Chains A and B, each alone.
Chain A
Amino acid sequence: MITRRDFLKKTVTIAGVAMPLAAFEIIDPEKLFAQVAAEKTKVRWAFLVDTYKCVGCGFCVKACKNENEIPYDANVTRTWVERYVLTKDGRLFADTPKGARDGFTTTKIDLGLGKFQDIKKDNIEKAYFVPKLCNQCENPPCVQVCPVGATYQAPDGVVLVDRTWCIGCGYCIMACPYGVRFFHPVHHTAEKCNFCYHRITKGMKTACVDACPFGARKIGNIKDPNDPVTKIVRTERVGVLKSEFGTKPQVFYIGLDEEVR
């Protein structure tokens, strides 16, 4: 039988022992790692696309598919090029056949369902190409919605997917306003552009940057003021895609048109 005196004594003892224990902060190894890594690297990857230079050859798409082992004939791709054609009568046409893997070899616009629309040269007001890839958002909605934490943001800003932990629910695919995510046809997990993380962390450029014959694509470290990409982003007029979603995309575009979706 416990007396009141004993009970009080024990309570005080336990409380006395517990108090100093509370002084220890529980260290989250992940947070610690991120902190250390971020301080050490001082890197934040960003991308620059000069739409004036893009001719829609599709070399970047080809290179990406090969580099990142996305089955060549599968109708999904980590990066793609869109073609926009605005006619004199104010109509907008846009397409991206096979993600422009083979480039734009015809003037016919792909309307889907096997239909094509040919636009006469005289009728074109303006036309241009827009390469697309993952925006490696500062505030990535895909990371927010992953129920298991299989997709995460590296300290240098790149959003990665853990293929061994992804459950394949597709919530991240739904949450991305840019449509850059898909299920890998072989691994069946969520898949996306990761700026060729295996290359950029070893001092190389991404496969698409290396493949682009016109220098329309550039990758750089936005934290480094001497980086050519940073210089352009800071001193020239650049835009980002769909800023209204508050995702803070880190792929910057030179010559972005209002019609680009």
Chain B
Amino acid sequence: MVHGEVWTLKELFVTPNEYIYWSVQIVMYPFMTGLVAGAFVLSSLYHVFGIKELKDIARFALVFSFALLFAAPMPIMLHLQFPFRGINVMMTSHFTSAIAAFGIVFFTYGAIVASELWFLYRKHFVLKAVALRDMQDKTMLQWLEYLLYTALTLGAYDISEQALHRDEKAIKVLAGIGIPVACFLHGYAGFIFGSVKANALWMTPLMPVIFIMSAVVSGIALCMITYIVVMEIRKIMIKRARKPWQASLEEVKGAELHVVKMTAKYLVFFLIFAISLELLDLIFRGYTAVKSWDMLRTIIYERDFYDIFIMQYGIGNLIPLILFLSPGLTIRRAVLGVLLVLFGVFMMRWNVVIGGQAFSLTFAGFMHYHLPIIPHDWETFKEGLGGALSIFIMPFVLFYFIAKVFPVFSSKEAH
């Protein structure tokens, strides 16, 4: 069977080679890179602009951004017909292509996040390494831990007041450089779509900006929900099995309302910005009404009406806005709000990627996408519900392990 045939239904006049080639994994790709970029921007709000209320969530967001970073290229790998040739993008980068810069942007960004993390956790590594070095009768595991932390110090054991001050400066600089790079990482994901002149729905110079805004929204939302869930789970766990060397109950707090409220403010700010841009794009298309508008109008107002106006704008944007803007925000309401926001951003990606392929190049036919839910071979798994869910779960699993080395909860060791 031809690639794409299994999940594509054609209606009216569609040329023979047209299928929905970019399926759910290409929806996941901008969704995941958006989360990476958004989480990083959130952490930078504290490190660069010194917004103190975000201190707790900033460190958390940075570590989470690191976990997400590994998951971001995975959708592409699952989408490629030859995943093992993916490295060719870096071997023979063809720079007229928007995808060609992926390796460079991605690794630059990765290096910035990794270095910032290192500066942030250097003191923690040194203290751990020294404590483990002085420990007598180490077990096998402790030996491994000792080796790990010694390696992570990179030989820099100076944790004097001045040294730490320099670290802070470095963090500030890195976070500052990181913001444009994070925006670039995602903005250019938008460029990948926005520059396809053959696709009437995608081609708009606003696409990168729309992508960045919605990326920040989704990143903040994901950090909020993870922050709340992790803090609450931690509270319950510690309450259940309290041991003498662990923090006393007074120190163990659940998610703090003032952190959530402050973060929600930024979320709303970026959300309004994102919606405005999307509406501007829509209005502009309707007003200029070029050749493709007849088709796009059919797609936007008729065929995909439910997905765009009910799911994305209604459930994903309007309801969260009401939830966040009504007075007396509670944690529970915030949880519902951010979940809906995440859903809304996912639907936006969906409506762009799948919606952009819902019509034929002839402007006289339609294609329907049927997400493979029960896989019957490797292809329908990786480009189906299973593959998408695996990608979504991946950063949380990674976060669990990364957080073991980079503790995200407030302790006196880190800055």
Closest chain A CB from B306 CB (angstroms)? 19
B82 & A76 in contact (Cβ 8 Å cutoff) = no
Min CB–CB distance B400 → chain A (angstroms): 31
What class of interface size applies to chain B in its complex with A?
35 or more
Please tell me if the beta carbons of A132 and B15 are within 8 angstroms of each other in the complex: yes
Most chain A Cβ neighbours within 10 Å, of B21, B91, B195? B21
Task: Check A180–B100 contact: CB distance below 8 A.
Answer: no
- Flag whether A208 is at the interface (Cβ < 8 A): no
Hey, what's the 0/1 contact readout for A170-181 against B, CB within 8 Å counting as 1? Answer: 110111111111
A65-106, CB under 8 A of B: which get 1 and which 0?
000000000111100101000000000111110110000000
- Complex Cα distance A113/B4, Å? 16
**B93 contacts A75, C-beta separation under 8 Å:** no
Q: Enumerate chain A residues within 8 angstroms of B363, measured Cβ to Cβ.
A: 261
List residues 140-169 of chain A with CB under 8 A from any CB of chain B. Answer: 141, 143-150, 165-169
Does A182 count as interface, using CB distance less than 8 angstroms? yes
Q: Tell me the bound Cα distance from A104 to B62 in angstroms.
A: 61
* CB <8 Å contact, B198 and A141: yes
B375 close to chain A: CB less than 8 A? no
Q: Does A20 contact B (CB under 8 A)?
A: no
- When distances are taken between beta carbons in the complex, the residues of chain B under 8 Å from A246 are 197
Q: Give the one of A82, A98, A112, A175 with max B CB within 10 A.
A: A112
Q: Is B322 an interface residue (CB 8 A)?
A: no
Complex CA gap A87/B13 in Å reads 16
| Contact A144 to B79, CB < 8 A, known contacts A111-B12, A173-B21 | no
Q: Is B50 part of the contact surface with A, judged by Cβ < 8 Å?
A: no
The B63-104 residues at the A interface (CB cut-off 8 A) are 76, 79-82, 85-86, 88-89, 91-94, 96-100, 102
Query: B14–A171 contact, CB under 8 A?
Result: no
Given A94-B362, A167-B86, A169-B76: A185 touches B2 (CB 8 Å cut-off) = yes
> How far, in angstroms, from A113 to B12 measured CA to CA in the complex?
8
- Which listed residue (A93, A95, A141, A174) contacts B21, Cβ 8 A? A174
CA distance A113 to B362 in the complex (A): 17
- Residues of B contacting A77 with CB < 8 Å? 16-17
Q: Does A250 contact B (CB under 8 A)?
A: no
**Interface presence of A189 (CB below 8 A):** yes
Q: Report chain A residues within 8 Å CB of B304.
A: none
Which A residues are closer than 8 A to B by beta carbons? 74-77, 80, 82, 92-96, 98-99, 111-113, 132, 141, 143-150, 165-171, 173-183, 185, 188-189, 244-246, 261
Q: List 20 A-B contacts (CB under 8 A).
A: A76-B16, A76-B17, A77-B16, A94-B364, A96-B13, A96-B15, A96-B16, A112-B14, A112-B365, A113-B9, A113-B11, A145-B195, A148-B93, A166-B81, A169-B81, A170-B22, A170-B81, A171-B192, A175-B197, A179-B15
Closest 3 CB pairs of A and B: A168-B81, A147-B99, A149-B94
Known: A166-B85, A169-B80, A179-B17. 7 other contacts (CB 8 A): A75-B16, A76-B2, A76-B16, A96-B13, A166-B81, A182-B19, A245-B197
